[in-house]
Amino acid sequence: MNSYYPSLTKSEQKVAIYVLEHMDQILYFSVTDLADAAEVGDTTVLRFCRKIGTKGYQEFKLAIAKDLSQQEQEEDSGEQPNGLITSIAAHTKQVIDETVQLLDEKKLEEALVLLSEAKSVHFFGVGTSGLTAQDAKNRFLRIGRRTDAIIDPHIQAMTAATLTEEDLVIGLSVSGSTKDTLESLKIASDNGAKVIAVTYYARSPITRLADCVLISGGKESPLEGGSLGAKISQLFVIDLLCTGLALRNKSASLLMKEKTAQAVVKKIY
């Protein structure tokens, strides 16, 4: 960054200065977060990333994460790590506590209203978020709500094109910047479908497309992509939605839980 600094525009230099002064913090920034902090536009941040030799913002953060990780390893080489079980358990608890603090009950209620009114519900996600989408489909099936989990970007786009104002899409993306998911949500929104976004970043591209935003905990650096903490946070939000929907129609939900359980009871010894 220092070597490219003289060739940058004034706006891009503002980004460089902020990054150099807050290197460890921007690992957990969305592109919008960094743009706001440096007082520039999103496109300026993206131009800056390309000018210093990276293809985009995520690759830029990955390069920084590698350098910082190497520095931390050198600094911690003589230290004894904490107990593995204890440290992982503490991190998992922290993720749930963080999600509880970040979630807005009014937003959760708005999401439940959208869910209860929707003719059909589709979960969109790719990568680890795609696995969460599939878990969500299974969870909702047990209370008798038929949903769809689509993790292939092409099928997502085609499905989105068929939706109407009676349909709902729940987009899952920790970063809030996953291109495939964003493009599909944009198509769905343009066709009138309602959109709920589940993300860590309150200021990220996905939130601009959403009618309702649910913030989950479990931030992750570029080297922690697909972290279990982030997935646990997403699943916690899904559980809140599913349980909240079930409580709105207790008798029907209980009946469906019994029927689905009975359907697989003979498959267990």
Q: Where are the domains of the chain?
A: 9-76, 86-267
CA–CA separation, 130 and 194 (whole Å): 19
| pLDDT score at 225 | 59
* CATH of segment(s) 9-76: 1.10.10.10
Which among 250, 242, 228, 255 has a CA at the least distance from the CA of 92? 228
pTM for this entry? 0.75
| pLDDT score at 25 | 84
| pLDDT score at 186 | 97
Q: What is the CATH class of 86-267?
A: alpha beta
Annotate 250-267 with b (16+ C-beta within 10 A) or e (fewer): eeebeebeeeeeeeeeee
| pLDDT score at 102 | 86
pLDDT averaged per 10 residues, the chain (length 269):
80 92 85 91 91 87 79 53 80 89 93 96 95 96 95 97 97 91 97 96 88 86 68 95 94 93 87
Annotate 77-96 with b (16+ C-beta within 10 A) or e (fewer): eeeeeeeeeeeeeeeeeebb
